Amino acid sequence: MHYVTSPHSAKPRRWPPDTCGMAFEKLILVLDCRTEALGAEVFGSREEERTVFHTCKSRACPSCGRRAMLLWQREQWRELPDVPYAHVTLTMPDVLWPIFRRNRHLLHDLPVLGAQVIQEWARARYGVRLMIVVIPHTFGRHLNFNCHLHVLVSEGGLREDGTEWQHHARLNPRAIMPMWRYAVIHYLRAALKAGILTSEASAVEMKQLLRSQYERWWNIDIKRFRTKKHFLGYAGRYARRPPIAQHRFRKIDADEVTFSTRDTKTKQVVETRYTMTEFVSTLVHHIPDRYRHNVRHFGLLAPRLKARSHDLIFRLLDQERLGKPKHLPWARSLRKHFGIDPLIDTNGQRMRWLRRVPPATTIRRTV
């Protein structure tokens, strides 16, 4: 059995203390989204004026996250070759979730572990390098903490000598599962030994827990897509996705937040309720830290390797590389993706920019 033994494997490191204050600042930005607190732009025609408030662009904002997802799909459509892809879901037992929630600094290395597991297996089985995109997720349907990885992989790869693209490199979940299990457990044991894993349990109890989880089966799911069109349509559900969609909210007031959730057991839509304090303290754990990407690239899509090999991949596949798309202006983006043109007044006249309204700092909320 082949395990991850690369000297570049993720090693537990000491990170700065968890910056919950920064996460709360992002939540405050969400509350200020499209309000005078963030300022506005004023457009006008001959007959009317329209004030367009600035958006927050926060990772936790359902509205801003939706637009970011659509722009990500547009960029990836031009950057990825049209080959078969697979979506791999790497999960772990629920008893390990509290460990990563309490030790957030360890959560940042999970994408590295997942990508190296799949790449090491593909190199040993087929002798190829794959295109790998890892999207870490920490939230479940009820906003519960459920850390897992969505890994988007090409089912084909470039041979080590760079002379050929191998089209058939199908992933085997039964072979990948033991490697993923070993990588996570070995990583947690190393963190415990280094003294950077904190837990309410003693060191002896933690070792027993890790031993018991290493002996059980871990679930891995793989879905396959024949073209990048189907691949990006599915991947868009996870890339740039905020913790909760805006349409799910049913009630928000000073005391309680209620949102709809589809129960997977009963197949019915139920309501989940949190007090405002509980909702904020729960949501804050799902907001990526500053300078942490929620979409990470490995293998042939790693920035250094991509610069050297991406043109070669398109030539071997006899496909045209479209390159990075041009910036899509704000108004054109809304018209294309949402069918709304914010620069057309009620009489169908085109509006032009008039002036900018500065942020109303006097009403800006503070943490």
Question: Residue 361 in 3-state DSSP?
Answer: helix
Task: Provide the whole-model pTM.
Answer: 0.81
State the total domains in the chain: 3
**Of 238 and 48, which is predicted with more confidence?**
48
Q: What percent of the chain has pLDDT over 70?
A: 88
pLDDT tens readout for residues 284-318 = 788 777 777 778 999 999 988 888 888 899 999 99
What confidence tier does 27 reach under pLDDT thresholds 50, 70, 90? low
User: What pLDDT does residue 70 have?
Assistant: 81
What's the mean per-residue pLDDT of the chain? Answer: 84
Q: Are residues 331 and 254 in the same domain?
A: no
Q: Are residues 45 and 147 in the same domain?
A: no
SS (H, E, C) 334-357: HHHHHCCCCCECCCCCECEEEEEE
Tokens 């490995």 sit on residue: 298
Q: Are residues 208 and 98 in the same domain?
A: yes
Domain that includes residue 269, residue range:
245-286
Domain membership flag for residue 67: no
Residue 20 has pLDDT above 50, yes or no: no
User: What pLDDT does residue 339 have?
Assistant: 84
Tokens 């929630």 sit on residue: 101
Q: Are residues 114 and 154 in the same domain?
A: yes
User: What pLDDT does residue 192 have?
Assistant: 93
Residue 174 has pLDDT above 90, yes or no: yes
Question: Residue 274 in 3-state DSSP?
Answer: strand
CA atoms within 13 A on the CB side of 362: 0
Q: Are residues 114 and 251 in the same domain?
A: no
Domain membership flag for residue 146: yes
pLDDT tens readout for residues 189-222 = 999 999 999 888 899 999 999 999 999 999 999 9
Cβ atoms 46, 346 nearer than 8 A? no
Q: Are residues 196 and 144 in the same domain?
A: yes
- DSSP states along 298-330: EETTSHHHHHHHHHHHHHHTT-----SPPP--H
Phi, psi of 269 (to 5 degrees): -90, 125
Domain membership flag for residue 71: no
Measured CA to CA, the distance from residue 335 to residue 352 in angstroms comes to 16
Q: Are residues 211 and 258 in the same domain?
A: no
User: What pLDDT does residue 211 have?
Assistant: 95
Cβ atoms 172, 158 nearer than 8 A? no
Residue 364 has pLDDT above 50, yes or no: no
What confidence tier does 365 reach under pLDDT thresholds 50, 70, 90? very low
Measured CA to CA, the distance from residue 55 to residue 60 in angstroms comes to 12
Domain membership flag for residue 207: yes
Measured CA to CA, the distance from residue 270 to residue 263 in angstroms comes to 7
At which of 270, 286, 302 does a domain end? 286
Domain membership flag for residue 365: yes
What would the two tokens of residue 259 be?
């949102």
pLDDT tens readout for residues 100-132 = 999 988 988 999 999 999 999 999 999 999 999
Residue type, 87: H
When mean pLDDT is compared over 211-215, 245-249, 361-365, the highest value belongs to 211-215
Q: Are residues 228 and 165 in the same domain?
A: yes
Q: Are residues 161 and 264 in the same domain?
A: no
Element (H, E) at 22: helix 20-32
User: What pLDDT does residue 19 have?
Assistant: 43
Residue 14 has pLDDT above 60, yes or no: no
Domain membership flag for residue 263: yes
Q: Are residues 177 and 133 in the same domain?
A: yes
Domain membership flag for residue 100: yes
Domain membership flag for residue 76: no
User: What pLDDT does residue 28 have?
Assistant: 63
Q: How far is CA 201 from the centre of its chain?
A: 30
Q: Are residues 124 and 235 in the same domain?
A: yes
The conformational region for residue 228 under phi > 0 = left, psi -120 to 50 = alpha, else beta, is alpha
Q: Are residues 228 and 305 in the same domain?
A: yes
What would the two tokens of residue 346 be?
């009620």
Cβ atoms 129, 119 nearer than 8 A? yes
